[in-house]
Amino acid sequence: MTKDSKIFIAGHRGLVGSAIVRKLQAAGYTHLITRTRNELDLRNQAAVERFFAETQPTYVFLAAARVGGILANSTYPADFIRDNLQIQTNVIDAAYRFGVKKLLFLGSSCIYPKHAPQPMKEEYLLTGALEPTNEWYAVAKIAGLKLCQAYRRQYGFNAICLMPTNLYGPGDNFDLETSHVLPALIRKFHEAKTQGAKQVVVWGTGTPRREFLHVDDLADACLFLMQHYNDEDIINVGTGKDISIRELAELIAEITGFSGEIVFDTSKPDGTPRKLLDVSRLWAMGWRPKIGLREGIEETYHWYVTHYAEKAMHV
Ligand code: GFB
């Protein structure tokens, strides 16, 4: 990839896509191609083909997807499986047919079996049953990575597949019904503190363990692997460390300055008991994340207060 290569970032307004755009711009890449959802519906095959025929990108970062937390995944199974299958099939196929040199596909750590040994190595894929709350999304993502591998084998198309762990950062979704746990807790604790509430309700038992990667670290890994990795094997991207949801809640309470009680609503699902990636394959290539969890949450909290909470007060 040279600084003037034509690079299409699909999903540039999302958490991941916007971080990739920031990273590429900071690294001096000048010819970035982006389209909003209104300009180009990636679920529409004919529209995607027209777009590739017109713009002829050389590299593609496929960061467009329908994503959400545990409740959204289990409430909208059809939307999650259909939209992701459509988006990724249209983009991967058009990229191959219109001569893209290399494509980067993003999966998720939820592709691994619910009870996979921890930390989860790349070879555990398809060795057991999936977590039911997100099997629809996971099946779509598995199909996406298999599509990339099949196009490489049959057509020699250079598509690489990254499996990031749970992500967070500026630009995250803070809607309490559809978001992931980390932005949800930032919002809940912030609102409880500012409204003087005595309790914050956290879903589930608090015992599940999750690994959290700042999205700017993921974007850094995306650029690194776009430059240095050309294999069929999927590759995990994470920090190698996890924490329990209870510990996460306590940390966010401390960062937001909430000193009341934390209550667990066990009528809500826990999901996978533990989801920690084995990152030795990526780390052996010399890459490391740079942003610690406390620092990353502090920065995301600041972003939330300035971009979301303050704006909400003025609506
Ligand atoms: O982040 P999260 O929604 O997704 O939930 P998953 C992680 C854990 O946090 C679960 C608990 O045990 C939740 O019950 N939790 C506690 C909360 N309070 C809250 C809250 O207020 N909101 C949310 N959302 N969770 C998703 C998958 O799984 O992770 C996707 O559904 C994808 O497919 C994504 O893989 C990264 O880690 O359980």
Each residue's pLDDT tens digit, 29-57: 999 999 999 999 999 999 999 999 999 99
The overall average pLDDT reported for the chain is: 97
| pLDDT tens digit sequence for 263-284 | 999 999 999 999 999 999 999 9
Nearest 10 degrees: CA dihedral of 216, 221, 224, 230? -150
User: What tokens were used for 154?
Assistant: 């049959």
Q: Is 280 among the domain residues?
A: no
Q: How far is the CA of 111 from the centre of ligand 1 (A)?
A: 15
Q: Is 107 among the domain residues?
A: yes
My answer on whether 31 and 109 are in the same domain is: yes
Question: What is the structure's pLDDT at 32?
Answer: 98
Domain of 193?
181-209+242-274+292-314
Q: Which residues have a Cβ under 8 Å from the Cβ of 5 and sit 6 or more positions away?
A: 29, 31, 58, 59
My answer on whether 144 and 42 are in the same domain is: yes
Q: Is 147 among the domain residues?
A: yes
Task: Report helix, strand or coil for 49.
Answer: helix
Q: Residue 265 belongs to a domain with what CATH number?
A: 3.90.25.10
My answer on whether 87 and 225 are in the same domain is: yes
Q: Is 287 among the domain residues?
A: no
Q: Residue 64 belongs to a domain with what CATH number?
A: 3.40.50.720
Question: What is the structure's pLDDT at 308?
Answer: 81
Query: Which amino acid type is present at position 141?
Result: K
Q: Is 286 among the domain residues?
A: no
Q: Is 256 exposed, middle or buried (0-12, 13-18, 19+ CB in 10 A)?
A: buried
My answer on whether 232 and 84 are in the same domain is: yes
My answer on whether 229 and 310 are in the same domain is: no
Question: What is the structure's pLDDT at 310?
Answer: 72
My answer on whether 28 and 81 are in the same domain is: yes
My answer on whether 309 and 233 are in the same domain is: no
My answer on whether 199 and 128 are in the same domain is: no
The catalytic site residues sit at: 137
| pLDDT tens digit sequence for 172-189 | 999 999 999 999 999 999
My answer on whether 252 and 104 are in the same domain is: no
| pLDDT tens digit sequence for 279-307 | 999 999 999 999 999 999 999 999 999 99
My answer on whether 187 and 103 are in the same domain is: no
Rounded distance between C-alpha atoms, residue 199 and residue 201, angstroms:
7
Task: Report helix, strand or coil for 260.
Answer: coil
HSE (side-chain half, CA atoms, 13 Å) at 300: 30
My answer on whether 202 and 219 are in the same domain is: no
pLDDT of 87 over the 60 cut = yes
| pLDDT tens digit sequence for 219-243 | 999 999 999 999 999 999 999 999 9
Q: Is 32 among the domain residues?
A: yes
pLDDT of 98 over the 80 cut = yes
Residues framing ligand 1 (Cβ under 6 A): 69-71, 73, 108, 110, 133-134, 137, 166, 179-181, 184, 202-204, 208, 210, 245, 268-272, 275
Q: How far is the CA of 36 from the centre of ligand 1 (A)?
A: 27
Rounded distance between C-alpha atoms, residue 63 and residue 11, angstroms:
5
| pLDDT tens digit sequence for 50-72 | 999 999 999 999 999 999 999 99
Q: Of 37, 28, 29, 26, nearest to 6 (Cα)? A: 29
Rounded distance between C-alpha atoms, residue 145 and residue 128, angstroms:
17
My answer on whether 100 and 248 are in the same domain is: no
- Domain tally for the chain? 2
Q: Is 279 among the domain residues?
A: no
pLDDT category, 315, cuts 50, 70, 90? very low
Question: What is the structure's pLDDT at 313?
Answer: 61
Q: Supply the angle between the helices 293-304 and 245-256 in degrees, to the nearest 10.
A: 50
Q: Is 43 among the domain residues?
A: yes
Question: What is the structure's pLDDT at 97?
Answer: 98
